[in-house]
Structure 1
Amino acid sequence: MLGKIFGWWDGATIGTLFTIAKRGAHVGTDEFGNRYYQSRDKTSYDGRQRRWVVYNGYADASKVPPDWHGWLHYIYDETPTEHPLPRRKWELDHLPNLSGTPMAWRPKGSMAATGQRPAATGDYQAWTPE
């Protein structure tokens, strides 16, 4: 219960859920389980309906796919559930930022990479002050 009251970084708090129930309308959910909402009235400073996301789990903006990002920032009027973006055959599926996780990419020779670091080739000369 305390996690729902104070845990804003891991989903919605009780206050946010109350505000959503009172003022928001659910418009869709993405493949990561993030839920997207739009205000029922025009409450924005420019007269548009406010749009927001409630993250599934840890709040990380890189978990928002590009089509939903465009909708959140008023680039697209229709939600991706109503009008999905066309996919090119060379496009990969969206991945959140994996930095700092075990699935992060580590280049060859990185101290964090597993395995043995390659030996120096001898083409390096250390700088020495004059």
Structure 2
Amino acid sequence: MSIFANIFTWWNGSTFGTWVGLRGKDVVGEDALGNVYYQGGRDTAGNPRRWVIYKGSNDSSRVPPEWFSWLHHQIDDIPSRALPPVRQWEQPALANLTGTAAAYRPAGALEKGGERIGATGDYEAWTPGA
């Protein structure tokens, strides 16, 4: 990303102002997607302030569930120490796929041809005055 875009566009990643604001904050960890997590200072309730700097576009659905819990003070320690190990049957979390080619489209959706299957006989149409 160019320096000009980094100064003025927040949707392509963190801005120059964000990096200045994170000076002196502690890097707590990084997730499998490359997002970096910071902690430092206190909010008005006395809780530690926590941030995520996304790798790539700013999309909150790209924060894994374990780090979401840490960001929202549901767990106190970083996920690798506070949570049990990942079980073999667990699948990695997916980002929100809405608006992409991989989004769920049910039968009858325009993107799938717009054709719905016929009624199965258990539906009777309503007619006024009948």
Q: Deviations over 1:52-72 (max 9, x none)?
A: 111111111111111001111
Q: Distance in 2 between matches of 1:47 and 1:119?
A: 57
Structure 1 pair 82–29 and aligned structure 2 pair: CA distance change class (3 A): same
Q: Output aligned runs, 1:1-130, within 5 Å.
A: 1-20=3-22, 22-39=23-40, 41=41, 43-113=42-112, 117=115, 119-121=117-119, 123=121, 127-130=126-129
How big is the shift at 1:109? 2.8
Contact kept, 8 Å, 2:75 with 2:82, in 1: the verdict is no
Alpha-carbon RMSD across the aligned residues, in angstroms, is 2.3
Q: Which amino acid is the alignment partner of residue 99 of structure 2? A: G
Distance 1:127 1:68, change over 3 A: same
Q: Distance in 2 between matches of 1:90 and 1:109?
A: 33
Q: CA deviation at 1:30?
A: 0.8
Q: List alignment gaps of at least 5 residues for structure 1.
A: none
Of 99-108 and 75-84, deviating more is: 75-84
